[in-house]
Amino acid sequence: MMVYIVMGVSGSGKTTIGKMLAERLAVKFYDADDYHLQTSIDKMKNSIPLEDEDRTPWLLSLAKDISQWNMHEGAVLACSALKEQYRNILSNDKREKVVFIYLDGSKKLILKRMKKRKGHFFSSNLLESQFNTLEEPLDGIKVQIDKTPEDVCKEIIDKLQNVGMPST
């Protein structure tokens, strides 16, 4: 089994692409936002960027779940995973079977998308801090998000198959 982590800044399409990918791979979908502590959600609602201390318990909890998903049915997880150190926690220092799928897009495009979102706790005012925190992954899969979700998902599946990773 394998866990696929769809990552990127808020508004890049992690949930949309993650759900679509999970359906195509016939595995469960999880959204890391559902695992945030209420104190972190409150900070983000009030346009206060999270610090590493806020993220650590959240990342450790997700890492435990990733280990369980790997032992059972696999999964797709939508998670910002903005820094290399966060990705190392999630992958248990690369001991877990994890593929990071980085959704890459311009600030302009992502801000436009965020302004259309309704009911999400993340303030678009925090987008700049996300881009400042982002350390683009050197491994995994990178896709541009300036196309339809269907095309993005198809590109991910194609790239998984081209590098010999299980995609079904």
We report the CATH number of the domain holding residue 97 as 3.40.50.300
Please name every residue paired with 78 in a beta bridge, in sequence order, or none if there are none: 6, 31
Predicted confidence at residue 122, as pLDDT, reads: 52
- Report the C-alpha gap between 21 and 10 in whole angstroms: 18
Q: What is the pTM of this model?
A: 0.87
Q: Is 48 domain-assigned? A: yes
Query: Nearest 5°: CA angle at 88, between 85 and 91?
Result: 155
Q: Is 37 domain-assigned? A: yes
What's the domain range around 157? 3-162
Digit-coded pLDDT (tens) for 93-140: 888 899 999 999 998 988 887 777 665 545 556 778 889 889 999 889
Q: Is 50 domain-assigned? A: yes
Q: Is 60 domain-assigned? A: yes
Looking at residue 33, what DSSP letter applies? G
Digit-coded pLDDT (tens) for 50-91: 788 888 999 999 999 999 999 999 999 999 999 999 999 999
153, 78 in Cβ contact below 8 A?
no
Q: Is 167 domain-assigned? A: no
Q: Is 63 domain-assigned? A: yes
**Helices assigned H by DSSP within the chain:** 14-25, 38-45, 52-71, 84-90, 107-116, 127-133, 149-162
Predicted confidence at residue 55, as pLDDT, reads: 87
Task: Mark 4-17 as b/e (b = at least 16 C-beta within 10 Å).
Answer: bbbbbbbbbbbebb
Q: Is 168 domain-assigned? A: no
Confidence band, pLDDT 50/70/90 cuts, at residue 164: low
Q: Which of 12-16, 53-57, 162-166 has the lowest mean pLDDT?
A: 162-166
Q: Is 141 domain-assigned? A: yes
Domain count, the chain: 1
Predicted confidence at residue 35, as pLDDT, reads: 85
